Amino acid sequence: MIQLFHVTKEYPGDGPALQEVSLEIDKGEFVFLTGASGAGKSTLLKLIFCDEPASAGQLLLFGKNVAKISGSAIPFVRRNIGVVFQDFKLLANRTVAENVALPLEVRGLAQKEIRRKVRGLLRSVGLEHRADKFPPSLSGGEQQRVAVARALAPDPALLLADEPTGNLDPERTLEVMDLLYGANARGTTVVVATHDRSLLERYKKRVVVLQAGRLLSDGDSVRRAVS
Ligand code: ADP
Alpha carbon of 202 to ligand 1 centroid (Å): 27
Q: Is the dihedral of CA 43, 48, 54, 57 positive or negative?
A: positive
What are the residue ranges spanned by the domains of the chain?
A: 27-51+74-226
Give the model's pLDDT for residue 226: 46
CB atoms within 10 A of CB 30: 19
| Angle in degrees, CA 34, 85, 38, rounded to 5 | 40
Give the model's pLDDT for residue 180: 93
pLDDT tens for 86-112 read 777 899 999 999 999 999 998 899 999
Amino acid, single-letter form, for residue 29: E
Give the model's pLDDT for residue 225: 46
What's the rounded Cα separation, in Å, for the pair 152 and 134?
20
Orientation angle between helical segments 96-106 and 140-152, nearest 10 degrees: 20
Nearest by Cα to 177 from 164, 160, 162: 164
pLDDT tens for 26-76 read 999 999 999 999 999 999 999 999 999 999 999 999 999 999 999 999 998
Examine the pLDDT at 220 and tell me if it is beyond 80: no
Q: Which fold has domain 27-51+74-226?
A: Rossmann fold (3.40.50)
Q: How confident is the model at residue 221 (pLDDT cuts 50, 70, 90)?
A: low
Give the model's pLDDT for residue 99: 97
Q: Is the CB of 57 under 6 A from ligand 1?
A: no
Q: What does pLDDT average to over the chain?
A: 92
How far apart, in Å, do the first and last CA atoms of the chain sit? 29
Q: What kind and span of H or E run contains 72? A: none
Alpha carbon of 38 to ligand 1 centroid (Å): 6
Do 154 and 82 form a contact (C-beta atoms < 8 A)? Answer: yes
Q: Tell me the HSE value of 164 on the side-chain side, using a 13 A CA sphere.
A: 33
Q: Is the CB of 156 under 6 A from ligand 1?
A: no
pLDDT tens for 136-191 read 999 888 998 999 999 999 999 999 999 998 878 888 888 889 889 999 999 999 99
Give the model's pLDDT for residue 18: 98
| Angle in degrees, CA 189, 195, 201, rounded to 5 | 75
Contacts (Cβ under 8 Å, ≥6 apart) of 192:
30, 31, 32, 33, 161, 164, 180, 199
Q: Is the CB of 47 under 6 A from ligand 1?
A: no
Residue of 141 and 21 predicted with greater confidence: 21
Q: Which of 76-80, 127-131, 176-180: highest mean pLDDT?
A: 127-131
Ligand 1 probe mutation, 8, 18, 43, most atoms within 8 A of CB: 43
Does the predicted model carry a pTM greater than 0.85? yes
Q: Could you say which DSSP state residue 89 is in? A: P
Q: Is the CB of 16 under 6 A from ligand 1?
A: no
Q: 47-51: long-range contacts (C-beta < 8 A, 24 or more apart)?
A: 47/4, 47/7, 47/9, 47/18, 48/2, 48/81, 48/158, 48/160, 48/191, 49/78, 49/81, 49/83, 49/85, 49/160, 50/74, 50/77, 50/78
